Amino acid sequence: MKTLIKDVALYKDHVITEHQNIEVTDSVITGFPTSPQAGDYDEVLEGRSMLALPGFVNTHTHIAMTVFRSYADDMQLMDWLEKKIWPAEDKLDSDVVYAQTMLGIAEMIRCGTTSFADMYFFMDDVARAVEASGIRAALSRGLTGVTPNAQQALQENKEFYKTWHGKADGRITVMFGPHAPYTCPPDYIRQVVEAAGELGAEVHTHLCETKGEVDSIVKQYGKSPIALMDELGLFDCGCLAAHCVWVDDADMDIMVKKGVRVAHNPGSNLKLASGIAPVQDMLKKGIVVGLGTDGASSNNNLDIMEEMHLAAFIHKAHTLDPLVVPAESAVNMMTEAGAACLGYTDIGKLETGYKADITLVDREGLHWYPKNDSMSLLAYSANSFDVDTVMVNGKVLLKGKEFTTLDIEKIKAEAERTKEKLFSAL
C-alpha cells in the first residue's frame, strides 16, 4: 500500500517548508519525492493548504476517566481522589472501561493525537480498544502498594506486558505504572523495579504533583520524591514521570542524569491548583518534556493542542519572561519530545524510515490569516478543529475532519449507556 501526501507544508528538522510531498509505504515514511506521479500510488491525500506534523502525542492519560468528565470538579486533589474518584472507580468494569476508552480515543484522534501514554486498570480492555481503533499507545497498569490488591495488580501488569507488549502491529507497548510516592511505599517500588527490570519494561508514574506530596515525603523519608525514587532504582528502568511541578535544581539534576522524561500537564495542574512546573528550567537543562492532558476528569478534555497553548502561555507569565517556551518549543513538546517520552525511537519525526504517524492541520480558518509564520500560527492561533487528517502506522483514521473507521454515533451511545450503568451502581 503506497500513499502520497501531496503538496503539503512539511514540519521537519524544526522548520516548516511549503510545497513538499510525503510518501508512505505500508506503515513507514519512505521519502519526500520532488515530482511524484499520482499513478504510482494507491491513495493520494491532497495536502494543499495543510501543514503536516508528526502525529501529536498525549504523554499522560487515564483514558477511561472520560466517564468522570465533569462529575467531581472544583475539589482538592486528595479530596477528589479519596472522596469521589476512588470510590467510583471501585464500581468500574470491563464494559465501562472499554466504551469510555473508545470515547477517549475518538476524542484524541479528532484532536490530532496519534499516540498516548495511559495508566489505568482493566488494561486488557484498554488494549482491545487501542487495537480496534488504530491508535498507538504505551499502556501501564496503575499500581498502588497501599491497597489490598497491590500484589494482584503487580501480577496483572506482568501478565499484561507478556500478552500485549509489541502487539497490534507494534502499536501497543507496555510499561509498569507505579501510581505515586504517596500510594507506593519504598518496598513496593522495589518490587515494581524488579518486575519491570526482569521484563525490560519502562515505568510511568506520578511525581511531585503537589506541594503537599513533596512536604509529606520529605517529612517521612528525609528526601524529595525524586531523590527517593532515584535511590529505589525507579529511574534505572527508564521513567516517564507525570507532573514534576514541585522539583528543585537538585531534583532536576537527578532527572537529567537518569534521563527521566516529564509529562507536563498544564491543564490538570491549573485546574487542580497543583502549581506551575518549572518547564523553562527543565528545557534549559535538557530534560525531555512532553505534554499530557491527564484524565478527562481533571482537565476536562483530551485536546492536546489546548495543552500546547497553555504550555506556550503560562510559563511566560509565571517567569515574567515572554521568551520562554517559544512557539517551536511548544510544538516540539507535542510531537518529537512527546514521542521520546513514550520511549519511541522511530516515531515523532517526519523522516524516512520513521513510522507514518502524521497529522495534517488545515490552514484555511480565518485565524490562519493573514499568512504570517506558520509555526507561530500553529502555537498561538490554531485550535484542534483545524485538524483535518490523522494517519497512524500508515492508516488514515480521520480525513476531511471525519472519522474513516470509527462509528462515532455508536461510541457516543455506548459512552452514555455505560455512564448510566456506572452511576446507577454508586
Ligand X SMILES: N[C@@H](CCSC[C@H]1O[C@@H](n2cnc3c(=O)[nH]cnc32)[C@H](O)[C@@H]1O)C(=O)O
- Please pick, from the candidates 62, 69, 204, 349, the single residue that binds ligand X as defined by CB under 6 A: 62
Question: Toward ligand X, which CB reaches closer, 91 or 410?
Answer: 91
Amino acid at position 9, single letter: A
- Using CB under 6 A as the binding rule, whether residue 126 contacts ligand X is answered as no
43 is annotated as contributing to ligand binding: no
294 binds Zn ion (CB under 5 A): yes
Rounded Cα gap, residues 132 and 405, in angstroms: 9
CA 71 to mean position of chain CA atoms: 22
For the CA atoms of 41, 47, 52, 56, the dihedral, rounded to the nearest 10 degrees, stands at: -90
How far apart are the C-alpha atoms of 193 and 232, rounded to whole Å?
8
Q: Is 367 assigned to a binding site?
A: no
Binding mask 184-223 for ligand X (x = CB under 6 A): ----------------------x--x--------------
The binder of 121, among ligand X, Zn ion, none, by C-beta within 5 to 8 A per type, is ligand X
Q: In angstroms, what is the minimal distance from the CB of 123 to ligand X?
A: 9
By CB under 5 A, residue 118 contacts Zn ion? no
H/E element holding 239? strand 239-243
CB of 299 to Zn ion, least distance (A): 10
> How many Cα neighbours within 13 Å face the side chain of 279?
32
Which cell is 337 given? 519530545
Under rule CB under 5 A, residue 388 binds Zn ion:
no
User: Residue 61 or residue 359: which is nearer to ligand X going by CB?
Assistant: 61
Q: How far apart are CA 335 and CA 182, in angstroms?
A: 31
Are the C-beta atoms of residues 124 and 163 closer than 8 Å to each other? yes
Instruction: Give the residue among 98, 57, 62, 137 at the shortest CA–CA distance from 297.
Output: 62
Residue with CB nearest Zn ion? Answer: 294
How far lies 176's CA from each of 14, 192, 234, 238, 373, in Å? 32, 7, 11, 10, 41
What does 144 interact with, of Zn ion, ligand X, none (CB < 5 to 8 A by kind)?
ligand X
Give the number of other Cβ atoms within 10 Å of residue 250's Cβ: 12
Mask of contacts with ligand X, 87-106, x by CB under 6 A? Answer: --x-----------------
Which value, in Å, is the radius of gyration of the alpha carbons in the chain?
Answer: 21
Q: Does 120 bind ligand X (CB under 6 A)?
A: yes
What residue is closest to ligand X based on CB? 142
Interaction mask 136-175, ligand X, x per CB under 6 A:
------x-x--x-x---x----------------------
Nearer to ligand X by Cβ, of 187 and 409: the residue is: 187
The whole-angstrom separation of Cα 421 and Cα 96 is 8
Q: Is 294 among the annotated ligand-binding positions?
A: yes
* Number of chain residues interacting with ligand X (CB under 6 A): 20
CA atoms within 13 A on the CB side of 144: 10
Contact with ligand X (CB under 6 A) among 121, 122, 176, 246 = 121
Closest to 358 measured CA to CA, from 207, 132, 34, 136: 136
Interacting residue ranges for Zn ion, rule: CB under 5 A: 294
Annotated binding site: 60, 62, 89, 141, 179, 206, 209, 294
Interacting residue ranges for ligand X, rule: CB under 6 A: 62, 81, 85, 89, 119-121, 142, 144, 147, 149, 153, 179-180, 206, 209, 268, 294-295, 298
